[in-house]
Amino acid sequence: MKNIGAFLDIDGTLYRNSLMTEHFKKLLKYEVIDPALWHNHVKHTYYDWQKRRGNYDDYLLELAEIYINSLKGLNKSHLDFINNQVINLKGDKVYRYTRSRIAWHKSQNHKVFFISGSPEYLVEKMAEKYDITDYRGTKYMIDENNNFTGEIVQMWDSESKHKVIMEFVKKYNIDLSKSYSYGDTNGDYSMLKIVGNPIAINPSKELLENIKRDKELLKRVTIIVERKDVIYTLDGNVEIL
């Protein structure tokens, strides 16, 4: 008998922000990386996004580039304290709906997976916190001395997430037609498309537009919006203003 799986993105789907962003802030606080990188580069893009003049993806891409370059040459073990700090202090800032769904899936003996574009050493900590089956994040490569090389194997795009799901399907004998997936951006599109029970949580405009264009996905998808103290559902035919 095959198992039922639940595949979840983390940033914006479970966690209310980005794990990489929180980690970057901690690296600045403890002066592991130069604060000038924030003030001279990322800050302006961040404030443009906050004022809704810029794009959140542009901010994250710029941050990711600086983050990757900043880690180059650092020893991975030296970041263990900061990694734990991020999860211990920020790991509970999650969406209530998604947290409750993880608990429900576990109560049903479903296999639960995190597939996230955040660094795998942070995704691992979240996986331990929620005691899930398996996980995959963006791999930050290290050399023989355990130092970061500046090379990554990304996990934030739709194609990479699809590939990992198929690996988990084979490893854990998953029935995709009965399985669930949860995502919020277009990077999660393949995760939603491949399962019988797709759930888009606070979806981005790009993801929602792609759902509307995909008639098969449109029939199956549930859209969840969690705002302030209310959680409500929409169908894919919701009007975009």
Contacts of 46 (CB under 8 A, 6+ apart): 59, 63
Which domains are present in the chain? 5-15+93-234 (3.40.50.1000), 19-89 (no CATH)
Indicate the SS3 state at residue 185: coil
- Tokens representing 222 are 């549930």
pLDDT means over runs of 10, the chain (241 residues): 96 91 87 76 65 63 81 90 90 95 98 95 96 96 93 87 97 98 94 97 92 94 95 88 83
Closest to 116 measured CA to CA, from 12, 43, 197 = 12
| CA distances (Å), origin 148, targets 66, 68, 86, 228 | 14, 9, 19, 39
Which residue is it, tokens 């969406």?
Answer: 95
- Name the amino acid, one letter, at 62: E
- What pTM was computed for the model? 0.92
Contacts of 236 (CB under 8 A, 6+ apart): 208, 211, 212, 217, 218, 221, 223
How far apart, in whole angstroms, are the C-alpha atoms of residue 188 and residue 195?
A: 12
| pLDDT value of position 56 | 63
Q: How many CB atoms lie within 10 A of CB 141?
A: 11
Query: What confidence tens digit (pLDDT) does each residue in 10-59 have?
Result: 999 999 988 988 898 898 888 887 777 776 766 676 666 566 555 666 66
Output the DSSP codes for 83-141. Answer: HHHHHHHHTT-B-HHHHHHHHHHHHTT-EEEEEEEEEHHHHHHHHHHHT-SEEEEEEEE
How far apart, in whole angstroms, are the C-alpha atoms of residue 240 and residue 183?
A: 18
Closest to 118 measured CA to CA, from 142, 105, 135 = 135
| pLDDT value of position 34 | 79
Contacts of 49 (CB under 8 A, 6+ apart): 55, 56, 58, 59
